[in-house]
Amino acid sequence: MSSSLLPTYARAKLAFERGEGAWLISTAGERFLDFGAGIAVSSLGHNHPHLVKALTAQARKLWHVSNLFEIPQAELLGRRLAEASFADFVFFTNSGTEAIEGAIKTARKYHFVSGHPEKFRIVTMQGAFHGRTLAAVTAGGNPKYLEGFGPKLEGFDQVPFADLAALRAAIGPQTGAILIEAIQGEGGIRAIPLAHLKAIRQLCDEHGLLLILDEVQTGMGRTGKLFAYEHAGITPDIMALAKGLGGGFPLGAFLVTAEAGKGMSVGTHGTTFGGNPLATSAGNAVLDVILGDGFLGHVAAMGKRLKQGLIELKDRNPGLIAEIRGEGLLLGIAARVPVQDFVAAALAEKLVLIPAADNVARLLPPLIVGEAEVDEALRRLEATAARVAGKALSHERVAE
Ligand SMILES: *Cc1c(COP(=O)(O)O)cnc(C)c1O
């Protein structure tokens, strides 16, 4: 049967009916180990009892009221996020790209109210991904996502990845902010060295620039710390969150210091859905678990176990795997075969992975993943490698 969905995705011929923790059950009744988590979204796995309870309880009370009224659930989540981070204020959105959009607007408005309306330009990094709105695709700079959509938005200057000299050179009298991912997710799990992050913070301070961190993928515990910036011992001025924030319920946010947010007064920004009672109830329930005793330690420990196993897998398959990347449960296998083949082979082993740029297969399991599941994923990856190697061999034979 043909689909009525606009064909912007090349979908696998596979649908899921339900999920349990780190497992997905297909409509055909087959069990898949979910190391994609809906692209780093289902941070507590599927059907988490605490999340289900919070969401169903709220669903029976009130779903939506608009931001013309106080929303106690959003107040609570905002306060908790501010207390757990560098931020003083939080604005809730429905997605990551909206969070980025709000972050960009906030940075521009900051310089405007500081008497420098000319400082609207933002420096970004090659390989970045910030979402799909016009501002976000311009910031991301991927030509594939820009082609055909009219003139690029004015005000973004892109520099090569992790090139401090180029970054310094790109700062001019109109520069107002630097926007980066501490670890590029869609870009292929490429981490900016921690020393660079520190230097970038320093550059921002020297030039009066705002540091905007896109933690849409790295945030909410994914790297083993609540936020990836903690690894570098720095703080941003503005940060975008989404993906894991709602545990599968659409929820994003941008967080700001009081100083960086000083231009965002009544009427300067808005959203109909953002921060509604249902979404922020989900967010609070997610945070209950992530901030629970030992939870982030568990993420770090599972990340270490998985990464160690991946490194051993790479050592056994040097012709197939070039590199293992990432931190916590944000890991990548840089493949020497087309990544689509690798991900398809994993799926045939009933292991869900997510492809990224730079020929990388991402492993983004739910943060609640256990030791047995990590070990099972490693076994399935071993089988995946054998499958891909077998195929590669048979290709060669055909080529001969
Ligand atoms: C996914 C992602 C976005 C965009 O989020 P959406 O919810 O798809 O709009 C932005 N930045 C990063 C780093 C992401 O990984």
Give nearest CA residue, ligand 1 atom 5: 96
- Which residues of the chain carry a pLDDT beneath 70? 392-400
Angle at 239 between CA 90 and CA 136, to 5 degrees: 110
Q: Distance from first CA to last CA of the chain, Å, rounded?
A: 39
Of 366, 328, 37, 355, the closest CA to residue 183 belongs to 328
Distance 282 CA to ligand 1 centre (A): 19
**If phi over 0 gives left and psi between -120 and 50 gives alpha, with beta otherwise, what is residue 30?**
beta
Q: Please name the residue that has the structure tokens 């301070």.
A: 205
Distance 364 CA to ligand 1 centre (A): 14
Distance 102 CA to ligand 1 centre (A): 13
Residue 363 near residue 33 (C-beta atoms within 8 A): no
pLDDT score of 383? 98
Is 91 exposed, middle or buried, given 0-12, 13-18 or 19+ CB atoms closer than 10 A?
buried
Q: Which atom of ligand 1 is nearest to the CA of 252?
A: 7
Distances (CA, A) of 107 to 71, 234, 329: 26, 18, 30
Distance 318 CA to ligand 1 centre (A): 32
Q: Which atom of ligand 1 is nearest to the CA of 136?
A: 10
| Ligand 1 near 175 CB (within 6 A) | no
Token duo for residue 326: 């990432």
Q: Which atom of ligand 1 is nearest to the CA of 133?
A: 9
Distance 97 CA to ligand 1 centre (A): 6
| Ligand 1 near 214 CB (within 6 A) | yes
Distance 387 CA to ligand 1 centre (A): 32
Q: Which atom of ligand 1 is nearest to the CA of 39?
A: 1
pLDDT score of 400? 46
| Ligand 1 near 100 CB (within 6 A) | yes
Q: Could you give all domains of the chain from N- to C-terminal order, each with its CATH number?
A: 49-290 (3.40.640.10)
pLDDT digits 0-9 by tens, 168-219: 999 999 999 999 999 999 999 999 999 999 999 999 999 999 999 999 999 9
pLDDT score of 226? 98
Q: Which atom of ligand 1 is nearest to the CA of 184?
A: 13
Q: Which atom of ligand 1 is nearest to the CA of 95?
A: 7
Distance 398 CA to ligand 1 centre (A): 41
| Ligand 1 near 129 CB (within 6 A) | yes
Distances (CA, A) of 315 to 306, 318, 361: 14, 6, 17
| Ligand 1 near 220 CB (within 6 A) | no
Distance 59 CA to ligand 1 centre (A): 26
Distance 124 CA to ligand 1 centre (A): 15
pLDDT score of 391? 78
How is 311-357 classified by DSSP, letter by letter? HHHHHH-TTTEEEEEEETTEEEEEESS-HHHHHHHHHHTTEE-EEET
pLDDT score of 37? 98
Pocket test for ligand 1, best of 243, 330, 362 (most atoms within 8 A of CB): 243
Distance 249 CA to ligand 1 centre (A): 14
Q: Which atom of ligand 1 is nearest to the CA of 243?
A: 7
Q: Which residues contact 4 (CB under 8 A, 6 or more apart)?
A: none
